[in-house]
Structure formats: C-alpha cells, structure tokens
Amino acid sequence: MAKKALKWIIGAVAVAIVAFIGFRYWKSKQAELPEGIISGNGRLEAKLVDVAAKEPLRVKQVLVNEGDLVKPDQILVQLDTATLEASLAEANASVAAAEERLALSKASIVKQKSEIDLATVELERARKLVAEGAGSQRELDVRKSKLETTKATLAEVEALLKTSMEQVEVARANAATIQTRITDATLKSPVTGRVLYRLAEPGEVLQPGGGALTLVNLEDVYMEIFLPSNEAANVKIGAEARITVDYEPDRAVAGFVSFVSPEAQFTPKQVETKSEREKLMFRVKIQVPRELASHYVERIKTGIRGVGYVKVNPSAVWPPPLQNVISPKPEPQ
C-alpha cells in the first residue's frame, strides 16, 4: 500500500510540474508581442511647473499644502503688496494731476479761439473805418497786432496741450505697470495639477524667479522608454502606443509617440538592469492624451513603473491585453 501511495504522490507531483511548465509556457506565449509592435520599460511621468515670484516680495499667505489638487487660475500664494499699493496711490494721484492740466489746456484753447474770432471781427471793423476815413491807421495796426498775438498764444497753448496729453499717457502707463506688479503678486496655478513641493512659508522674502511651489502638471502625462537603434529607427512621431503599469498590467492606456530622441544615450539606472544600461539606446516619449489625463487627475500618480508599447507597423494588431484600454469617463447628462 505504501508503494502504491508513493506512486500516486510521485504521479501527482509530475502532473503538477508539467502543468506549471505548461502554464509558464502559455503565459510566455501570451506575453509575446506580434510583429510590428515593440516595447520598453519606463515610468509614468508628468511635466513639473514652478510657481515663482517676478520680483522680491515677502510671502503673505500660502493657501495650499503638498499633495493638494489645484485647478487653473486658482490662487496659491499671496505676496505682500503694501509698498506697491502705496506706489499705486501716488501714481493715480499723478494721473489725476496730469488729467487736470490737460483739461486746463483744452479750456485755454477754447478761450484763445474765441479771442481770435473777436480779434478778427475787430480788425475787419477797423479796416472799414480806415477805408471810410472814420478811423485811424494806428487803431488798425493795434488790431492787427492783437490778432497775431492771439494766434501765437493759441499755438503755444496747443503745444502745451500735446505735452499734457503725453504726460497723461505716461502717468496712466506708470499706474498700469504698478497695478500689473500687484496682480503678479497673486500667484495662481497655470495648470491642473498637484502640489509636489511647498518651497516657501509666510514671512519669507522671495527673490525674482524664486519658487514658492512646484506643481505636477497632471494633464501632461507621459512615459519614456528606451529602444535600441534597430527598433527606434522605425518609430514615427504620432505612432499608436500603449502604456501599462505594473500594478494593473491587464489594462492599458492608449497614447501616441510625441518624441524620438535624435541622439543615442545610455539607459538610465532606474529603467533597466546593469547589462541593459551599458547599451546605447534611443529615448522615446509616449504621451497620454490630455483629454484622457484630465478625466483621471484624481488617480494619476507619477513615478509608477510600467511598460510602453509602440506600433512600428500601422497594420499590426494589438494583443488582447493591450486592447483593454482605459476610456474617458462619460460626460454627465
């Protein structure tokens, strides 16, 4: 009986081994890519965006924390603008003074034109009187002189008007510049993203170009893979691509090739084994469509490892696992 039981055990173990080997072989066949499709390891990445000050100002408020999801035009940091607001008040006062001078110049022009009209009438009257022998030549000369003087004064006032208009424009431009500086002191998010680093705290003074926050742009998501020259040579910009991540290998993201490096480089350490890193490879960027990334901003995590697949033959057919693509969420009715 013992021998018979031993035979059954040995047989069961042999069957299990054969089944395991068969399963591994089946899985390896399933993992094989059809001709015309190539792949490479990579990580899910996104563009980084720095939120920075344009000029040296003190941080008044930081309204977000690391990890927060932010939307375009959302206020993130408020800088102290007390000094700029005082300058703006002074600039607005200069605008008001310049506009008052302009109004006076316009009124002077109206006055001078009226005086010219009157001097012209008086000159014509004096000419008639002289012609009729009822007036003196001296009176006619006085009227001529007055008309010429009035015209000269008008030309002077018109020149002053032009200067006043230019002063108003300069004053308004100065006030607008200061207002723009105040507006720029409110740092807003340029993208839909997540706060990666909080680089400044209230009370700190930021230098021109000094970063207050670093954001991950969750609408500009991609994976970079590295391919040998014989494969990269056939990759075209715009080619169909797929991305899978290690924690969910049975679902794929449909993307496209947005960049192929014109120069070979050694594969980065985080992508391949040491033997693979010693090979010269070409960097290929697989872009996730913006509309798809926008639907999944809450779930996107950068740095996750995965595999990128590229069609080098447009007629190639994606294997079943890569046909199970993630689609945008349906729009609410």
- 225-251 as b/e: b if 16+ CB within 10 A: bbbbeebbeebeeebbbbbbbeeeeee
Long-range Cβ pairs for the range 94-100 (8 Å, 24+):
94/171, 94/174, 94/175, 95/168, 95/171, 95/172, 95/175, 97/171, 98/164, 98/167, 98/168, 98/170, 98/171, 99/168
Amino acid residing at 87: S
Question: CA of 38: how far to CAs of 148, 230, 247, 250, in Å?
Answer: 92, 11, 21, 17
Tokens linked to 170? 């300069």
How many whole angstroms separate alpha carbon 33 and alpha carbon 227?
15
Return the pLDDT at 158: 73
Is the pTM higher than 0.85? Answer: no
Question: CA of 201: how far to CAs of 61, 92, 107, 204, 214, in Å?
Answer: 8, 32, 55, 6, 13
What is the mean predicted confidence (pLDDT) over 194-207?
94
Tokens linked to 104? 């006076």
Report the DSSP beta bridge partners of residue 187: 77
Does position 97 have pLDDT exceeding 70, yes or no? yes
What is the mean predicted confidence (pLDDT) over 73-84?
95
Return the pLDDT at 23: 39
- Domain 37-47+217-323 coded CATH 2.40.30.170: yes
Report the DSSP beta bridge partners of residue 214: 50, 197
Burial of 309 (0-12, 13-18, 19+ CB in 10 A): buried
CATH architecture designation of domain 50-79+187-212:
Beta Barrel (2.40)
Return the pLDDT at 181: 93
Return the pLDDT at 7: 56
For the chain, percent of residues with pLDDT exceeding 70: 80
| Full DSSP string of 109-162 | HHHHHHHHHHHHHHHHHHHHHHHTTSS-HHHHHHHHHHHHHHHHHHHHHHHHHH
127 vs 94 pLDDT, higher one = 94
Does position 298 have pLDDT exceeding 80, yes or no? yes
Return the pLDDT at 270: 58
Find out whether 221 and 45 touch, Cβ atoms under 8 Å: yes
Amino acid residing at 259: F
| Residues 6+ positions from 179 with CB-CB distance below 8 Å | 88
Task: Supply angle C-alpha 64, 70, 74, rounded to 5.
Answer: 85
179 vs 24 pLDDT, higher one = 179
Q: Does residue 176 sit in helix, strand or coil?
A: helix
Minimal CA–CA distance to 171: which of 99, 82, 81?
A: 99
Over residues 1-31, the pLDDT tens digits come to 555 565 556 656 555 565 555 434 334 434 5
Return the pLDDT at 30: 41
Return the pLDDT at 25: 38
324 vs 154 pLDDT, higher one = 324
207 vs 120 pLDDT, higher one = 207
Return the pLDDT at 247: 85
How many whole angstroms separate alpha carbon 211 and alpha carbon 51?
6
Residue written as tokens 């991305």? 243
Does position 37 have pLDDT exceeding 90, yes or no? yes
How many whole angstroms separate alpha carbon 123 and alpha carbon 126?
5
Return the pLDDT at 156: 72
Return the pLDDT at 21: 53
112 vs 308 pLDDT, higher one = 308
Over residues 107-154, the pLDDT tens digits come to 777 777 777 777 677 667 767 766 666 667 777 667 677 767 777 776
Residue written as tokens 């005082």? 86
Helix H or strand E segment including 54: none
Does position 67 have pLDDT exceeding 70, yes or no? yes
Give the confidence band of 34 by pLDDT, cuts at 50, 70, 90. Answer: confident
Gap between the terminal Cα atoms of the chain? 72
Return the pLDDT at 22: 44
Amino acid residing at 44: L
Over residues 231-240, the pLDDT tens digits come to 888 899 999 9
